[in-house]
Amino acid sequence: MSFATWITFVAAACLIAVSPGSGAVLSMSHGLSYGVKKTSATIAGLQAGLLLIFLIAGAGVGSLLLASELAFNVVKTVGALYLIYLGLSQWRARVEVAGAGAGAAAQSALPSPRKRMLAGFLTNATNPKGIIFMVAVLPQFIERGAPLLPQLLILGATMCTIDLVVMHSYAYLAASMQRFFRDAGAVKKQNRFFGGMLMAVGAALFFVKRGGAHA
């Protein structure tokens, strides 16, 4: 793989990572609710799901998935329903008060690291838009005649590193606003805002077509 090809992929990966999507919404939601450190488990799950999609696209399985209407619709439906479930759970999340007295702060109940990681993984792994995009874009950066596996490893590591930084940045920006959500009423409004966004993204996935990422 030439350096020019890799740099071009870096630019493309940055644009993909920065563009708002379900992963960004989840990172901001958990960053605001739990803080950046605890959101790292969520973001690790997002990277695992992203890497799975990347490998599926790189192995050519993604093309087969897009060719099968039944398989594509199953993935699309599971992804959409899962995001709606996440949004509904966020909307109905319990609010706890940490500390006591005037300095007490309200916060959403904290799921276990495993649940946070699983939420991140399933959010990316069941995203049909991600599969469509990877199948369309990834082949442009694969050099024919060169070994496939080393190229996939380099591009996959690059993509995940960039996305890791961007998702933590989203979480950090959201966490910096925690001081404005110190009472139960404000936290409930925050939960309903992000819960509504996740449900909206999930509903939009029902309109994704095999021929392109239209919503």
- Give the CA angle between residues 109, 113, 116 to the nearest 5°: 75
Band of the pLDDT at 215, cuts 50, 70, 90?
A: very low
What integer pLDDT is reported at residue 140 of this predicted model? Answer: 77
**Mean confidence (pLDDT) of the chain:** 80
Band of the pLDDT at 96, cuts 50, 70, 90?
A: low
- Cα(138)–Cα(194) distance, integer angstroms: 31
Residue in the structure block whose two tokens are 């960053």 = 31
What integer pLDDT is reported at residue 104 of this predicted model? Answer: 43
Q: How many domains does the chain have?
A: 1
- Cα(63)–Cα(128) distance, integer angstroms: 12
What integer pLDDT is reported at residue 147 of this predicted model? Answer: 84
96 found inside a domain: yes
Q: Which amino acid is at 39?
A: T
Q: Which amino acid is at 57?
A: A
Structural domain including 95 reads 3-205
Q: Residue 94 has which token pair?
A: 């319990």
Section 163-188 average pLDDT: 82
35 found inside a domain: yes
Cα 203 to Cα 61, 194, 198: the distances in Å are 25, 14, 9
Q: Which amino acid is at 11?
A: A
176 found inside a domain: yes
pLDDT digits (tens, 9 = 90+) for 137-171: 777 787 877 887 888 889 999 999 999 999 999 99
Do residues 10 and 166 make contact, with C-beta atoms less than 8 angstroms apart? Answer: no
212 found inside a domain: no
What integer pLDDT is reported at residue 205 of this predicted model? Answer: 72
What integer pLDDT is reported at residue 212 of this predicted model? Answer: 46
**What letter would DSSP give residue 21?**
-
- Cα(85)–Cα(55) distance, integer angstroms: 26
121 found inside a domain: yes
User: In 3D, which of 190, 205, 204, 182 has the Cα closest to residue 91?
Assistant: 190
Band of the pLDDT at 80, cuts 50, 70, 90?
A: confident
Handedness of CA 9, 29, 45, 83 (dihedral sign): negative
pLDDT at 129 over 50: yes
| H/E stretch holding 186 | helix 184-205
Do residues 141 and 7 make contact, with C-beta atoms less than 8 angstroms apart? Answer: no
Section 13-17 average pLDDT: 84
Section 79-92 average pLDDT: 81
